[in-house]
Structure 1
């Protein structure tokens, strides 16, 4: 018997369904991993924009910031500069970024940081790889190299974040930290340490040494990877 010409192909979305429902159906059928970046972002935007064209918003966000990671790393104020994107959508996107950072932090926080090098690198890349401004953070460790706290010590411009060695050491003493790992990003994408990076690292190492605090490493994060001062023989 010949099937009706309007019979739906198994797994295909019905032609009568709206765009949003077709996208949801395709996501269920093929899996989220099969969606291109703009459709994945579009699907998420359904939550904060129950009506209207989220496809154009998703494409505009990616065009403005360049990638999914950069969209999520952008500030609320910068996200809101995209046409049609308001406070609710911007906060929803920042929520995803915060969740990703906390998930990335879990493996490092549950194990000895130094022996979990891959988890540490994954975490700092999630936290800083797409950060649009330079940020200097410190991972404070106890005597077993367990993470006590990851703290943003300073935020700066697109190419500079001030570092105060005394403040790093003072905070380490407040937290009873035995050692620290310094981390900062290069928004340019190139993680190669500058001479200024090398100089300030040496200042922090010396100030910490006097008070019995070890500096295990200084990691520079860029879109092109992560550079370790220790592995490069810079400290």
Structure 2
């Protein structure tokens, strides 16, 4: 089964930049997107053969997630049951017979770290949510998790220590997640690979020079690690400041 996750940084803009070409080319079973930046009725995608599940933020032009799937889920959950968090449309979970698929757009702690306390509280609630799902069946988590976990997950680690997305607190929460029974699929296959990133600043020629961060993930319950066939970063795909990440399970 093939899975794709992509922070599209506004689905309406991304559609104008080739989103549908990539969508049809990759032909995934499950295609999750984050940062949709739209409300119901603002865009209508004709995706033959796919069911669509959207979770929009209450605030217009902000956040939001969606999953497009070829497989009808047993159940669908929007949000994690926390009112303040769920106003931002950050989580969708689809239940299937053998796993849950969860897409997530983790809150950014902001450049001045003013939202770091909220972010850390989010991490605690979200991990508890994932572990509750995992009591029933394995979890496949994908999305923009807004953290580079280790120094090889971004180009300029030394100069970014303490910055949003690379604070000790945020990295520590990722360590806690992975030590709680989950595996980073890309690092599982490529533990030492460097210079593979999923996000680049829009600053001049940053992407061309590959000065990036790996902040988009497929993370799976340890029970599924032996099923990981491919974990890829499709950095050649444009259309957003992020690129798609890909997972194939046996």
- Same fold at TM > 0.5: no
CA radius of gyration, larger in: 1
Q: Which has the higher strand share?
A: 2
Q: Tell me which of the two structures has the higher relative contact order, counting C-alpha pairs closer than 8 angstroms and 6 or more residues apart.
A: 2
TM-score calculated relative to the size of structure 1:
0.30
Q: Which has the higher helix share?
A: 1
TM-score calculated relative to the size of structure 2:
0.29
